[in-house]
A = this chain, B = another copy of it.
Amino acid sequence: MPLGLVELMTNVKIRKMTKLSESFMNDVTQLLKAHRSIRKFTDRAIEDDVINEIITCGQAAATSSNIQATTVIRIRNKDTRATLAELAGGQKYVESAATFLMFCADLQRPQKACEMQGGDFSEGMTEHFIIASTDVALMAQNCVIAAESLGLGICYIGGVRNNPQQVSDLLGLPDQVYPLFGLCLGYPDQSPEIKPRLPLSVVLKEETYQSENDVADIKEYDSQVSEYYKTRSRGRKDSSWTEEMKVLVGKESRPHMRDFLRKRGFLMK
């Protein structure tokens, strides 16, 4: 049972350290840098207390104007999980993961709070959509770090946006609430390689947006990605980052999202 993260962290702790404080701090950055999506899990369940601790860690993340616009729905029911796996594009691990959480952007709760104070909710603001969606992502990433620190593996499921209306109906989401992504959690039963990222020079700019060297850097990165896929697939997959991007942004992507969101009360003005 290859528990990569646990091994990593155990090794780090066994190591003799002269400067304890610096070493501990490096352990957090090592944990962050050790992330890879896990799609194969052992049968081991996750205790409710662990999930509660993970969500509590999520809530501690920064939140815009204290809006706390995230609602998480934990789905245990096997039929619901099977349906969600199907709606997300046939991702079996949505069904098989020990825990599945749906992360929703929720403006209904602030609306209710506003109305409890006699206010009128200003519906459909693009800015509120941005605040709410960002809030969800910040909280979810805290949950992910907490989970990984506890030896769990995770996989984000953006595929819930393949069929957002059906997902919303299934989970009884009211207007002003939409499913941004799901999260599979479980104890890892695989240890995939860490995927290489774009060079730092491409993503971190100084003073202004400068992209003169990006093409050269991207070409170099393409070779790395290509090598990564070849190694991982034992020669069967040959793709590069630019090829992946052509597939992703070279065509319409989930073209139903705009109408769906407007129908649910988002992005109207």
Contact = CB atoms under 8 A, between A and B. Distances in A.
Given A33-B60, A109-B214, A121-B250, A127 B207 contact: no
A24 B29 contact: no
Contact of A205 (B64, B71, B215, B243): B71
A103 to B, nearest CB: 10
Contacts of A151: 25
A249 to B, nearest CB: 5
A258 interface: yes
Interface stretch (A86-94, A170-178, A230-238): A170-178
Given A76-B206, A245-B114, A134 B131 contact: no
Given A52-B204, A112-B214, A127-B253, 19 more contacts: A32-B142, A64-B158, A70-B203, A71-B203, A71-B205, A73-B204, A80-B207, A112-B211, A113-B218, A113-B241, A113-B242, A114-B249, A118-B246, A119-B246, A125-B254, A125-B257, A130-B161, A134-B181, A258-B267
Interface of A: 6, 9-10, 12-13, 20-21, 24-25, 27-29, 31-35, 37, 51-53, 55-57, 59-62, 64-68, 70-77, 80, 104, 107-114, 116-122, 125-128, 130-131, 133-134, 136-138, 140-142, 144-146, 149-151, 154, 156, 158, 161, 171-174, 177, 180-181, 194-195, 197-198, 200, 202-211, 214-215, 218, 225, 241-246, 248-255, 257-258, 261, 267, 269
